[in-house]
Structure 1
Amino acid sequence: MTDTGQNGHNPGRPPASRIRLVVSDMDGTILTPEKQVTRESIAAIQTLKKAGVPVCFVSSRPPGGMEMYFDALGVHTPYGALNGGTIFNADRTIRSRLSLDPEAVQDTLLMLKVHQIDAWLFRGHEWLVTNATGAYVEPEARAIRMTPTAVPSFNDYQQEVGKVTGASADYEALERQELEIGQLLQGRASVARSCKCFLDITPLNANKGYALRQLASFYNIPIEEVACIGDMNNDVPMLSIGGLSIAMGQAKPDVAAQAHFITASNSENGWAKAMEQFVLPRVAPLSDIAGKTVS
């Protein structure tokens, strides 16, 4: 396990000495490569819970794809779906929601079509596709236990879109489109890969940094006392502002550069090890927050 020292994005920001909230990515982070959770991670969450420190999750997944893990993890806290653009309360009701401008949706769909990249739309609890036999549709449906709705076109569905995903096995094409669509939508949307095969386009403020701020506000905790952990480009907005930022061992160098510390990979129980080594020694109970329960 490597200690990278001070944050590469802002070297003047040392790691927090006190942690009162943990905000975590899911895929590539607390989930193993087989999309499972380990006993060690569950035990670490229970230890944090006993110390009065809640664990909240933020993911590019739709809400159902996150909720399927919560009972096993033993968490019933607010969470951010669709890359943080929709914040849900623990009871699954929507706390806040951001949507893409329809023109940004149109521009994105055109770019993906030109480059022969499958497009998916997410609106609230809906997952819409035009190519139901696309290479990643069935695996993703299994992974998030959600069946997409096939539509002949997206023409009537460009309002209230929380996320557009480009799915392709051409990883280099997605990397190029991350840059090209990012430039096209500069100032209008957030554009980042959530894994090597998915490119996510979300509302401008719908990123994990926004979600971290929303969740910290819910608990009335300054972001300087929030630990965050992730592995991909779309985790950078929270890694670059969290009081204690941790990158997974398999994170690319530009992602790891945003973190105070690097833990082991998600195939080596890196999440649990990060909690044990970097977070738990810094926890502080939430006894001073009236009316909030940690579960």
Structure 2
Amino acid sequence: MTSSKQEPETARSPNIYQLLALDMDGTLLNPQKVITPAVHEAIRAYIHRGGRVTIASGRFPASVWLHARATGMNAPLVALNGAVILNEATGELRQGTALPAEHVRELIRFVEGRGAYIQLYGYNKLYVRELNDMNARWPLANVVVSLDKELNEKNYAQQMKMIQVVAVGDLQRFVSESASDSLSPAPPIYKATVIGQSQEIISELMEALEKQQTPQPLGQTPHHGVTQPPNRKIFTLTRTGRHRFDVNAYGVSKRTALEALCRELHIPSSGVAAVGDYDNDIAMLSWAGLGVAMGNAGPHIKQFAKVVTGSNEEDGVARVIQNYLL
């Protein structure tokens, strides 16, 4: 990494960034999933100076809202990789882009036919075939972790109720029956996560699914004129862990959600600072006026950033705010 991407020791171009967008895991949160006092204080200082702060995460809306509330964030929030935008004050849905039911069924057939695991995300609901040790504990990974252990114990039970894990049996049947039930409208599915036993399996699944989305060769019209077939792209695929990737509707990303948010707030992309560390952050880092990669991000993430800050063990978010936003 070239030194030109490293942070300066002193502030540069203060007050030109009106919105700060933060990824959560690996960025806002340290390795213990805590918002450290230094990061908390820096966010508060930026807000006090008139800045707007939001989260842009792949997590559930409830988790995003709880963490935003803990730091007093003051802009609409982005969850489920950009599939939903929620109200920062209430946690309620403002707008969302769900996966069409027929595309969800196609995805389930593809994944389960290859022996991999898939789970579906509604608005604070996780739909699974059956409960297991992993998915039953999924809400626990979404709560606000405090340095105060007594406060953690008090809050965990209440916060975990905000995200439900629902065992529905056959996932294809669940999606099909819900879609065809006029009395009980189908719950929107905003995201799916595919989990495999190894990095190699996940890479192969992503590659195979991408190939299925490739447009077919040019065809002929009945009048013998050449026509371009419909684009088969129906999914956005994003690696979100060593053994998993996320699936959203095509075109959904943290960037597109932030673009919608900025149109509402009348903020140009040049007025946005975005900070992240993983593949689902690349689009927003490339788009933002100040794209910042965490020190713990991989080289393939850092190449899309204008600046590289400290890691999430080194209060990297606080350093960005202090050096660029105050």
TM bracket, shorter-chain basis: 0.7 to 0.9
- CA separation of 1:230/1:151 partners in 2, compared to 1, >3 Å: closer, same or farther? same
Q: 1:181: how far off?
A: 2.1
Q: Distance in 2 between matches of 1:122 and 1:221?
A: 30
- CA separation of 1:66/1:3 partners in 2, compared to 1, >3 Å: closer, same or farther? farther
Q: How does 1:226-237 map to 2 (within 5 A)?
A: 226-237=272-283
Match of 2:207 among 162, 175, 179: 179
Match of 2:169 among 152, 165, 170: 152
1:97 and 2:92 matched: no
C-alpha contact 2:136 2:165 (8 A) present in aligned 1: no
Q: Distance in 2 between matches of 1:183 and 1:276?
A: 44
- CA separation of 1:102/1:261 partners in 2, compared to 1, >3 Å: closer, same or farther? same
- CA separation of 1:272/1:122 partners in 2, compared to 1, >3 Å: closer, same or farther? same
Q: 1:85: how far off?
A: 0.8
Structure with bigger helix share is 2
Q: 1:219: how far off?
A: 1.5
For the aligned residue pairs, the C-alpha RMSD in angstroms reads: 2.3
In the other structure, the counterpart of 1:280 is 325
In the other structure, the counterpart of 2:228 is none
Measured against aligned partners, the alpha-carbon deviations of 1:45-85 in whole angstroms (never above 9, x if no partner) come to 11110111111011111111212222322224311111111
Unaligned runs of 5+ in 2: 7-12, 143-159, 180-187, 215-232
Measured against aligned partners, the alpha-carbon deviations of 1:130-158 in whole angstroms (never above 9, x if no partner) come to 1311x532442211233311111112226
- CA separation of 1:114/1:173 partners in 2, compared to 1, >3 Å: closer, same or farther? same
The residue matched to 2:314 in structure 1 has which SS?
Answer: coil
In the other structure, the counterpart of 1:132 is 131
Structure 1 vs Structure 2: percent identity of aligned residues?
Answer: 27
Which structure has the larger Rg? 2
- Deviating above 6 A after TM superposition, structure 1's stretches of 4 or more consecutive aligned residues are none
The residue matched to 1:141 in structure 2 has which SS?
Answer: helix
- CA separation of 1:138/1:169 partners in 2, compared to 1, >3 Å: closer, same or farther? farther
- CA separation of 1:55/1:129 partners in 2, compared to 1, >3 Å: closer, same or farther? same
Q: Distance in 2 between matches of 1:101 and 1:183?
A: 20
Q: 1:4: how far off?
A: 4.5
Q: 1:96: how far off?
A: 1.3
Match of 1:50 among 48, 51, 54: 48
C-alpha contact 1:3 1:261 (8 A) present in aligned 2: no
> TM-score, length-normalised on structure 2?
0.77
- Residues matched between the structures, number: 271
The residue matched to 1:156 in structure 2 has which SS?
Answer: helix
